[in-house]
Structure 1
């Protein structure tokens, strides 16, 4: 059964897996994909290094969770959560590959009114140099990052279930 757009939850893991810690969002998405706690009503997208091209896949999402490497000047491996107005800071350089994610977030409201809530969960990178391995602090942070993602997705799933229940009650009257 395909979900109505008003109930669609999408997770996008972004990053470049050949730039070491820049690939943290993609690695986190892959761990999430195999997590038995993942709610069944969630769509997972490996966004890689795509930016604005992802609009075609997320424009009808009511809730959007981005997983990414985010440079906020903290200790490597520190988890980062941004939502709402905090996401505007990405245009100022917080995301390691800022143009893609910042452009995506700036353009989304122009093509869709669907996204009721957008959250970015990320990790402070140690290195974005060439390499396919994550640094030790970022590798260690992936478990807690996935846990935070599952918590957010569970919360949204509960909200959507409540909305569905309210819609069913209204329709039966």
Structure 2
């Protein structure tokens, strides 16, 4: 069986929208990452990775969610949603949200998905994370690793 796949979504040239990209880039070199976990950057189009997803039992998607922009969440807050908790009305920075893409992928593969949504404060053009989100990155990485250790052992 293929290992657990973690796909980080986002555009690193769009400030906080690139949080998924930044997380998987750091996870790839983290010695705490379980050997049963594979990480990849997904850009802004989860559907492009259907071939990598096929044949796996579980996929974790990490993406920015815009609730902090709208005052509904704190920057860096992590929402962990299993596929039965996904809501297509959630705000994402991409033309096709991770939730919508997961829904389409579920039509062609029996993979179980978990979405780790990271609350962001900005999705403006910038080649780095906002200071608020960058300051939270160590805590975010610790929490993501904790979740991956739990998920990969299921």
Give TM-score scaled by structure 1 length.
0.78
Unaligned runs of at least 5 residues, structure 2: none
1:130 is aligned to 2:125: yes
Q: Is the 8 A contact 2:91 2:97 kept in 1?
A: no
**Which of the numbers 133, 139, 143 marks the counterpart of 2:134?**
139
1:97 is aligned to 2:94: yes
User: Structure 1's 144 and 120: CA in aligned 2 closer, same or farther, altered over 3 A?
Assistant: farther
Equivalent position SS for 2:39: strand
Provide, for residues 64-111 of structure 1, a one-character-per-residue CA deviation record: whole Å limited to 9, x for no partner.
Answer: 111111122312222222223222x1x213222251423320112211
**Which of the numbers 7, 13, 29 marks the counterpart of 1:12?**
7
Q: Is the 8 A contact 1:54 1:104 kept in 2?
A: no
Bigger-Rg structure (1/2): 1
What is the rounded CA distance, in whole Å, between the counterparts of 2:108 and 2:116 in structure 1? Answer: 23
Higher deviation after alignment, 122-131 or 137-146: 137-146
Alignment size in residue pairs: 150
What is the rounded CA distance, in whole Å, between the counterparts of 1:76 and 1:103 in structure 2? Answer: 23
What is the rounded CA distance, in whole Å, between the counterparts of 2:99 and 2:115 in structure 1? Answer: 11
**Which of the numbers 46, 55, 70 marks the counterpart of 1:51?**
46
Give TM-score scaled by structure 2 length.
0.87
User: Structure 1's 156 and 77: CA in aligned 2 closer, same or farther, altered over 3 A?
Assistant: closer
Q: Is the 8 A contact 2:6 2:60 kept in 1?
A: yes
1:22 is aligned to 2:21: no
What is the rounded CA distance, in whole Å, between the counterparts of 2:66 and 2:97 in structure 1? Answer: 15
How far 1:158 sits from its partner (Å)?
2.5
